[in-house]
Structure 1
Amino acid sequence: MHSDKQAWHFQQVWFVAVSNQPYFGGGMKISPAARPDDGLVDLTIVHGISPIKLLFAFVTVFFEKHTKFKEITFLQGPYFDIVVQGHQVDCHTDGNYIGMVQQDTPIHCTVKPQAWQVIAQNRVIISQ
């Protein structure tokens, strides 16, 4: 995984959540620092954690306590290239299964500014 000439390597990764807003999957605040209007990509990486501790950490997401686990890393930047090494993995986008990502295939993650229409007080405030 790298961004702006920095590289991070994680072992035993359970999942990586890529977001630009804090909530994920029906109310879980997976990326508490994420803001939809800051132009940054937020990554939440769960790695090196036992299955039992993962279940405990999962429950704490609803209360924003998962931020205290050393096995959960948060990164923020203008873009990230994620590369899976060693095997292929299942990939989901916005809760939908999109297929397998083959090993060594880079996944480029970025935010396209003002790409969505956002409605506030019955009027469009951002559009493209």
Structure 2
Amino acid sequence: MSPQLALLVNPAARGGRTLPLLEPVVRRLRAGGAEVSVIVGADAADALERACTAVAEHPDALVAFGGDGLVHLAVQAVAGTDVPLGIIPAGTGNDIATALGVPRRDPMAAARAVLRMRSRTVDAADVSAGGGEELFAGVVCCGFDSRVNERANRLTWPPGMAKYLVAVAEELRGFRPIPFRITLDGVPSEREAMLVAVANTHSYGAGMRVCPDARPDDGLLDVMVLGAVGKGEFLRVFPRVYRGTHVTHPAVSITRVRSVRLEAPDVVAYADGERVGPGPVSCEVRPGALRVLV
């Protein structure tokens, strides 16, 4: 029987540069016997509404053609249902796809993985901040990195990833360690930190291996805290996150928990690269909430 696939598309992924791959991907899926309906929303809210409507019609899979932001949106639609999530990476980072074993640089290979319809069960997690509540599959960031996101989102120039480099330089100029109250599985502590990351998978931000040993199917969240360090030391430590070797630094700690609450002044949470809202921030794992085609 032909699989019924709802293909959720972000036409703006990578500035629209991956859109020419959409037609070949659809052709490949249909050549493999799938019946494909394409979903494109006018904006994120419209795309989510359309995705939820599609899932309610019980397709064999909801397939996200885009980056981590679109995967994040798709997770809201499929979590807790019997509809699996397929991913065809077409974004800049594709960290969630990488963590789940989906080919991140080969859309046709990812399409073949979807057609095999082999799924694994993984965790998701709830995150709430500033009155907003949603799910995430990858990483929640809170601190220096989320402030960089806030600053970059206000910039109109330069385009693309370059604006994040500008935002890093501008944010670092006046940045001071943030006083956090961190509650892990109900046990509170207070400390100054540069940033806190809550991870279901191991990386975010296009390959930053913030919690290199995080597993998406262990029923736990990895919480990484980079404590207060000087700016010079921060500039030495932070690039090590791309190799995952930052974890050996004495200012870094990683703890595995089921729930976490973060309280700090002027902090905004981002989940899978998407803005959730200002703190306080609460996260709780939902074991086995997702089925993913891999």
TM-score by length of 1: 0.78
Among 223, 229, 232, the residue aligned to 1:43? 223
Q: Which residue of 1 aligns with 2:205?
A: 25
Q: How does 1:1-128 map to 2 (within 5 A)?
A: 1-11=182-192, 13-84=193-264, 87-101=265-279, 105=280, 107-120=281-294
Amino acid at match of 1:81: R
SS in 2 for 1:114: strand
Residue ranges of structure 1 left out of the alignment (5+ in a row):
121-128
SS in 1 for 2:236: helix
Residue ranges of structure 2 left out of the alignment (5+ in a row):
1-181
Cα RMSD between the aligned structures? 1.6
Higher helix share: 2
Aligned residues between the structures: 113
Q: Which residue of 2 aligns with 1:123?
A: none
Higher strand share: 1
Measured in 1, the distance between the counterparts of 2:240 and 2:229 equals 14
Higher gyration radius (CA): 2
Measured in 2, the distance between the counterparts of 1:18 and 1:80 equals 8
Amino acid at match of 1:91: A
Distance 1:112-1:5 versus aligned 2 partners, 3 A rule:
closer
Measured in 1, the distance between the counterparts of 2:250 and 2:283 equals 24
TM-score by length of 2: 0.36
Deviations 1:17-54, CA, capped at 9 Å, x for gaps = 11111111111211022100001011111121111111
Contact (CA 8 Å) 2:219, 2:288: kept in 1 or not? no
Give 4+ residue runs of structure 1 displaced > 4 Å after superposition: none
